[in-house]
Structure 1
Amino acid sequence: MALLNILVYPDSRLRTVAKPVETVDSSVVTLVDDLAQTMYSAPGIGLAAIQVNVPKRVIVMDLSENRDELMVFINPIIETLEGEIETEEGCLSVPGIVAPVLRAERITVSALNREGESFRLDASELLSVCIQHEIDHLDGKVFVDYLSRLK
């Protein structure tokens, strides 16, 4: 495993739209492991491959208190969005900035796991927000895009 360099806003590479993973092979598993190590080391609760200048649709997250429940989303797709929730968001690519962002309170997401198996997940509150935040990275968006110009 390797620690990867996290791109910092306003680096234009953060605006790259990530491409789908064709096959979950050993290179993708290595990427997942490197992303996880980088996220834990930062420390953060989520990291998208585009944040380390790898334009692939891969996300890792861990919201657990003990940092031992790694979640992997390869080619994630949000299928449904419900409700609204405003939460304070921060980002490893935007150090030192925390601001309120309005997002869907509940989502259903489908993706592949680390083994290449498909799954669906119903997520709410913080998990929902984090998944949306990381998928935004895959689409070339950064959470500060949601803030008003006055901020």
Structure 2
Amino acid sequence: MTNDESVFTRRTVVAAGAGTVVAAAALTACATYGKENTAPAPNPAPAGNPAAPGQTAGNALAKTADIPVGGGVIVGDTVVTQPTAGTFVGLSATCTHAGCTVASVSNGTINCPCHGSKYKLDGSVSNGPATRALAAKTVRVVGDSVVPG
């Protein structure tokens, strides 16, 4: 082989491909530098529904009217329950048994579809295989909404 010949091995081809990806990512980042963000503001507060100081209506987990007494709703990674009228509880939606996401709130329990664990509306275990309660999340009522915090 002469000095002018190039030898392509699997390693040099893979390394060259990775370099191309890194260069493309850098060019993409540079192409947007300094440009104004034209995306709309997330979840603007609806007219006629003022938020409390320090809160925007857009960060509400749910409306209080949508959470039945003796039931609850799952919003993203949070479960919000209303065990008794006017008492709202925030819980993690991650099952403590195997890390699955709970799927429903029905018949007075929060239910995990993976292995059948059930939790009471306060997050304590009703039926295993889970042995630990769902983690608490702080929620509060602002106007007619339940918000994080």
TM-score for both structures, normalised by structure 1 = 0.30
Looking at secondary structure, tell me which structure has more helix per residue. Answer: 1
Higher relative contact order (CA 8 A, sep 6+): 1
Looking at secondary structure, tell me which structure has more strand per residue. Answer: 1
